[in-house]
Structure 1
């Protein structure tokens, strides 16, 4: 029988880790039961397509200072081969979390080399990256952890807006409870579309979600040490209504255009134009959420005078139009 292994980290976890573990176990168990009753399952002649196990380095793992305890089925040393490994989210102190799970990280690396596929949920991506398995590859993680991830793992191509990545047998997903969308994606891959639709209906999860852009709160990368760039960021943030060019910014800070661009991208992960767009759109989002201002009023407030251009940038960053965003997050505006 094929195997799906759900990892239970020993410490360095949170209640979100428990949600990932329990959610994975429940959905794959339901998928097993449903698939066995389909024509494909009956033809296969087995009761279950996969053996689903919780595995770790200890028999029991405590979460949230002992509030919850998860008992594992098996120690990782007793699993010689598995088909899919699920990594749950980790605590916010990512470097500590990685140091505290060295045995799991080494085992993951060995299993991947032996042919296993790996799926990480939310900040579980840090465990994958620390094993070196994401170097040169694309991945996603919770949008709030994106800046820290880029700093720690510069050789990984982080696609923070994407909900799911699928590359070379490694799957990653965005933040928090979006792990449920990754599970549906995996159910379709490991069982079939029919089983994924069944799970979607049973657990009431939207199928085929691809972006976490609408949920992102842009705060700007400020943890770098380039004071000139920090001043430029502050200037952009304090002058929303202005249409600021890169030439204007580089002139204000007495730095050549190319050098200014290079330093800004290195420090923030965005070009100056991208940064300005994100700051403006974040301000527009807040206005749509908290006021009854029209699309045009908000557009002018954040420095746009072309409706088409504003809509295009807004959709590029959030994945939806200004009107769709306002209708979703502001009940009073809809009324």
Structure 2
């Protein structure tokens, strides 16, 4: 039997704590139906016997305090909301215990932006981490020594698991059940809770927001120029000439500050413009492609799929306003 400690962190969402508790507990019911003993002992483990959530909107009672848990097998770090820097400070008392448990071979299951707290412990240093696309820039600024993966919703590295994208943490829990108990149990949980087990990427849901908290004024001006002119046709040399700067130097500065090459940035802005038209407009896909400055339809389709994992027609089917 594995002991699961769900941490009721300050600024955590009640839904992520409760749903984690329900899913782990429900797995025990599945085992019972199969004539097998329970696999998880699930407890809410906190600093105090009672913790405030969402600025006092909810109170949660813990089963035990961290002082009472000498050893646990799985630590669940819930999804956080609000000010992440403030949340890190408020949850500092958990840090030493989490590190000690990990050093004692506990697995850490981190739900979405709970990764801000986990990163603050130092346990993610030089490791991969999935984060929600909307906080990627903030996370990078706070923790530059962590490798963000934005092409998957789950990472698995040395007993630390992270997930990116809101309720995609449910997919992470299915992943954990499969690792512990096999594919059959994971599929059963998927069916019972109606979670799409095949969801692997948050790319279809991403709204591109360029990293602008870098302090390089020329790079910022170039970003704003690109964003204000999504339908125009220009290349890297055009951008460099506009701002009177050498190509090699500027490409290096742009990549360093935005985590995108100039070409990628132009492509992302055009894809974002196309997505908006696909969602709300009535133009044909070819008309939209021409509108945003592409003459090669096949080339744009490849670029679009690169950033969204979908073809333009599939994107329209998925997100168009009817």
Q: What TM-score bracket applies, with the shorter chain setting the length?
A: over 0.9
1:37 is matched with which residue: 33, 36, 41? 33
Q: Identify the residue that residue 7 of structure 2 maps to in structure 1.
A: 7
**1:221 partnered with 2:211:** yes
2:222 is matched with which residue: 223, 232, 248? 232
> How many aligned residue pairs are there?
322
Taking the aligned partners of 1:226 and 1:52, their CA distance within structure 2 comes to 49
Superposition CA RMSD, Å: 1.4
Taking the aligned partners of 1:273 and 1:111, their CA distance within structure 2 comes to 45
In structure 1, stretches of 5+ residues that fail to align are none
Taking the aligned partners of 2:281 and 2:231, their CA distance within structure 1 comes to 18
Q: With structure 1 as the length reference, what TM-score do the two structures score?
A: 0.92
Taking the aligned partners of 2:161 and 2:244, their CA distance within structure 1 comes to 44
**1:170 partnered with 2:166:** no
Taking the aligned partners of 2:220 and 2:31, their CA distance within structure 1 comes to 55
Task: Write out per-residue CA displacement over residues 30-86 of structure 1, whole angstroms, 9 at most, x where no aligned residue.
Answer: 111102333xx63xxx3x111111111011112223332211111012111111111
* Contact kept? 1:185, 1:208, Cα under 8 Å: no
1:22 is matched with which residue: 18, 43, 54? 18
- Runs of 4+ more than 3 Å apart: none
Deviation of 1:272 after TM superposition, in Å, equals 0.9
Q: Identify the residue that residue 269 of structure 1 maps to in structure 2.
A: 259
Deviation of 1:317 after TM superposition, in Å, equals 0.6
Taking the aligned partners of 2:90 and 2:56, their CA distance within structure 1 comes to 17
* Contact kept? 1:86, 1:119, Cα under 8 Å: yes
Taking the aligned partners of 1:315 and 1:156, their CA distance within structure 2 comes to 26
In structure 2, stretches of 5+ residues that fail to align are none
Taking the aligned partners of 1:31 and 1:304, their CA distance within structure 2 comes to 51
1:244 is matched with which residue: 230, 234, 244? 234
Task: Write out per-residue CA displacement over residues 275-324 of structure 1, whole angstroms, 9 at most, x where no aligned residue.
Answer: 11111111111111111111101111112111211111111111111000
